Amino acid sequence: MAPSPALLLTLPAFLLTAALAVFLTASLRLLALLPSRRPHPPKRSPGTPTRLLVVLGSGGHTAEMLALLRTLDPQKYTHRTYVVSSGDSFSAERAMEFEKLVGLKAAGRERDGRVAGERGQGLTGEGGAGVGSYDIAIVPRARRIHQSLLSTPWSALRCLWSCFAVLRAPSAALSLPKCSGAASIYGYPDLILTNGPATAVIVILASLILRFFGVGGANARDKMRTIYVESWARVTRLSLSGKLLVKVVDRFLVQWEGLEGVGGRGEFFGVLV
């Protein structure tokens, strides 16, 4: 016996309505993720634990990123997570070297502060100028050089999957100092800083997916804010990563005047490296 004509009509109508509803909700949610719609972050008082996530890439990207960070204040950005691709021991070593320097500088500041205090000039600063903590998170490579385009989606997906975990909390195994307990203090990064390696695109995509679904308060206005700094090597045209990310990151910085205003977003404050 054939189904009644009424049922034949209702089922597609129902499916269509459902699909439309999902589509509309998703679009609205997506729009809300866009940087132009994102509310400003609330004021953050000094001393608030703050997690900065830095994406490192192959040689040139890593060198530039660490140059960008040379004025990093560890008393503001109390925990740093460095995301490194598996097999990229160069970047991991550079990150550890960089942190050693951050520690030395903080020790120097503390010493200076004490000397000034003994002379009775002003404040000695908070006792024990903290250097905070850091961890190095290793994710599978999004795409190897010369990897076939066919297998790229698979490796990119594996990378994306591990980025979720990296974003959720600092990795306990690779946190320094060992006793910091950073994994329990910090959740999502407050700020994600990247400059162009392929991994950066995946990390930002992972953060957008988490915000889209609001996993664990991922879309709070003071969580996972993103800054992209286009490589200093890009004078007149954006890199592929830059083109992909120019509309979705909260801030987009360029280092050559010719790129100011690119994509309606590019901010130019001179050379940053």
Partner 1 sequence: MSHDENKRPRKLCFVTIGATASFDSLISACLEPRFLETLSSAGYSDLLVQYGKDGKALFDKLVAEAEKLKQLGVAIQGFDFNRQGLTEEMRVAKGGPGDSEGVVISHAGSGTILAALRMDVPLIVVPNPDLLDNHQAELAEALEDQGYVVYGRLNNLSAAIAGSEKLRKSHKVWPPVNSGQHRRAKGLAGVMDEEVGFLD
CB contact at 8 A, 45 and 75: no
39 near partner 1, judged by CB under 8 A? no
Q: What whole-number distance in Å separates Cα of residue 167 and Cα of residue 163? A: 6
Among residues 9, 59, 104, 178, the one that binds partner 1 under rule CB under 8 A? 59
Size of the site for partner 1 (CB under 8 A): 48
178 near partner 1, judged by CB under 8 A? no
> Nearest CA to 174 among 223, 224, 133?
133
Choices 10-18, 54-62, 103-111, 203-211; region in contact with partner 1 by CB under 8 A: 54-62
Choices 37-45, 100-108, 126-134, 209-217; region in contact with partner 1 by CB under 8 A: 37-45
Q: What whole-number distance in Å separates Cα of residue 111 and Cα of residue 252? A: 37
The least CB distance from residue 70 to partner 1, in Å, is 10
Q: What whole-number distance in Å separates Cα of residue 174 and Cα of residue 233? A: 32
Among residues 29, 109, 215, 222, the one that binds partner 1 under rule CB under 8 A? 222
Q: What whole-number distance in Å separates Cα of residue 251 and Cα of residue 226? A: 6
Phi/psi for 55 (5° steps) reads -95, 120
250 near partner 1, judged by CB under 8 A? yes
143 near partner 1, judged by CB under 8 A? no
CB contact at 8 A, 232 and 54: no
Q: What are the structure tokens assigned to 213, written together?
A: 């679904």
Q: For partner 1, which is the closer residue by CB, 178 or 221?
A: 221
Choices 6-14, 63-71, 116-124, 198-206; region in contact with partner 1 by CB under 8 A: 63-71
Q: What whole-number distance in Å separates Cα of residue 83 and Cα of residue 145? A: 18
Residue written as tokens 């309606």?
264
Which residues contact partner 1 (rule: CB under 8 A)?
Answer: 40-44, 46, 50, 52, 58-60, 63-64, 67-69, 71-73, 76-77, 90, 190-191, 193, 222, 225, 227, 229, 231-237, 239, 250-251, 253, 256, 267-273
